[in-house]
Amino acid sequence: MDSAAPSPAPGLTVAAVARHLGVAPDTLRTWDRRYGLGPAEHRAGAHRRYSMADLARLEQVRRLINAGMQPGDSARVVLDSALVSQLESVPITVQALTDLRLAPSTEQFAPSTASARGLARAAAAMDSGACRAIINEHLGRNGVVWTWETLLAPTLIGIGEQWQSSGRVIEVEHLLTQVIESCIGTVTDRLRAPVNVRPVLLAAAPDELHALVLTALAGALAERHIEVRLLGPRVPTAALLRAARRCGPVAVFVWSQITETGDVIPLAGLLKIRPVPAVVIGGPGWAGPTPPGVKQVYGFAEAVSKIARIVGE
């Protein structure tokens, strides 16, 4: 006769979990019935027993409810594990990063995997505090270049791929973008004694909406004591020229992510300004040959190094 399978370790009762969360036992039963938040290993006819993983999930739901989110929405956020699963299963390569270049080198990805998954989980739970803590920890320990290349860019790519495949998680991208801007903005704000008299001007091409990389670039340059003027997304050529005439930048960096925005010809007007700024372009949107006097970079660290060399010349 076959031996019986070993009994699973006993878990937490409904009453124990309810006391821990500060809710009524009936509330837990309602969450189970309506939202599927019951014990993951519950068997029909057996008493509900919650594992520590089940408890952690419920704590997350409770935290979101306390923050003002409706129970149903909180449950959907916590149960929507597709984002994390995709991040864990999609290999991160230079080719995968071409949609969000400036791209890092492949050897830098290995240490980032666990951190990127942790950040993705925090973002999927709409936990801005946890996102901020993770990002600030890496900024303080590793700096902006490392944090962008090995943590932020891979996480944003995973979110973008999930959005393209399902049409969902746009709210996750928006929350994470705001937290990234806030954290890197703190780095930029700490600059007190810049080495450059003439600033560096950072702008996205006309109609280019994707400009978060400019925020990261501003932070990386601030760590090198380089002052910038950040114009952000969708900067018309005429506005860029006016800004350059007013502030007399030592360099102008223009970002284009999609080919519809990467027209390099209008940038020739920057070369007519006196004193003439160095003109640098980055991003996968630029097509065709680079005109004389315009430099093109292909990686985030390369952009930082190129601008730093220009400032130091």
pLDDT digits (tens, 9 = 90+) for 117-170: 888 888 888 899 989 999 999 999 999 999 999 899 888 888 877 776 677 778
Residue pair 295/282 in contact (Cβ under 8 Å)? The answer is no
pLDDT for 226 beyond 90: yes
Question: DSSP secondary-structure letter at 284?
Answer: T
Residue predicted with more confidence, 20 or 78: 20
pLDDT at 103 over 70: no
pLDDT higher than 70, residue 84: no
- pLDDT for 35: 86
| Mean predicted confidence (pLDDT) in 16-44 | 82
Closest CA to 34 of 67, 79, 82, 68: 79
Report pLDDT for 182: 97
Provide the pLDDT for residue 72.
79
Please give the radius of gyration of the chain, using alpha carbons only, rounded to the nearest integer.
24
Q: Please say if the pLDDT value at position 259 is more than 60.
A: yes
- Any long-range contacts for 234-239 (C-beta under 8 Å, 24+ apart)? 234/204, 234/206, 234/207, 234/208, 234/209, 235/203, 235/204, 235/205, 235/206, 236/206, 237/206, 237/266, 237/267, 237/269
Do residues 57 and 37 touch, judged by C-beta distance below 8 A?
yes
All structural domains of the chain with their residue ranges? 14-79, 82-187, 192-312
User: How far is the C-alpha of 49 from the C-alpha of 110, rounded, in Å?
Assistant: 38
pLDDT-based confidence at 69, cuts 50/70/90?
low
C-alpha span between 250 and 216 (Å, rounded): 19
Residues 163, 65, 180: CA angle, nearest 5 degrees: 45
Report H helices in 10-70: 14-21, 25-35, 52-66
Distance CA 223, CA 141 (A): 13
d(CA 300, CA 265): 23
Residues ≥6 apart with Cβ < 8 Å to 56: none
Amino acid at 301: A
pLDDT (tens digit per residue) in 248-258: 999 999 999 88
Look at residue 92 and tell me whether its pLDDT is greater than 50.
no
Q: Please name the amino acid found at residue 25.
A: P
Determine the pLDDT at residue 198: 96
Q: What is the pLDDT of residue 10?
A: 56
pLDDT score recorded for residue 68:
60
- Looking at domain 192-312, its CATH architecture is 3-Layer(aba) Sandwich (3.40)
Q: Per-residue confidence at 80, pLDDT binned at 50, 70, 90?
A: low
- If you count DSSP H runs as helices and E runs as strands, how many of each does the chain have, helices first? 12, 5
* Biggest CA pair distance of the chain: 93
Do residues 109 and 103 touch, judged by C-beta distance below 8 A? no
Is CATH 1.10.1660.10 what the domain over 14-79 is classified as, yes or no? Answer: yes
Greater confidence (100 vs 164) lies with: 164
**In this predicted structure, what is the pLDDT of residue 86?**
46
Q: How many CB atoms lie within 10 A of CB 12?
A: 18
Q: What is the mean pLDDT of the chain?
A: 82
Phi, psi at 103, each rounded to 5° = -100, 140
- Model confidence band, residue 113 (pLDDT cutoffs 50, 70, 90): low
Percent of the residues in the chain that have a pLDDT greater than 70, as a whole number: 81
pLDDT > 60? residue 9: no
If one compares 240 and 159, the residue with the highest pLDDT of the two is: 240
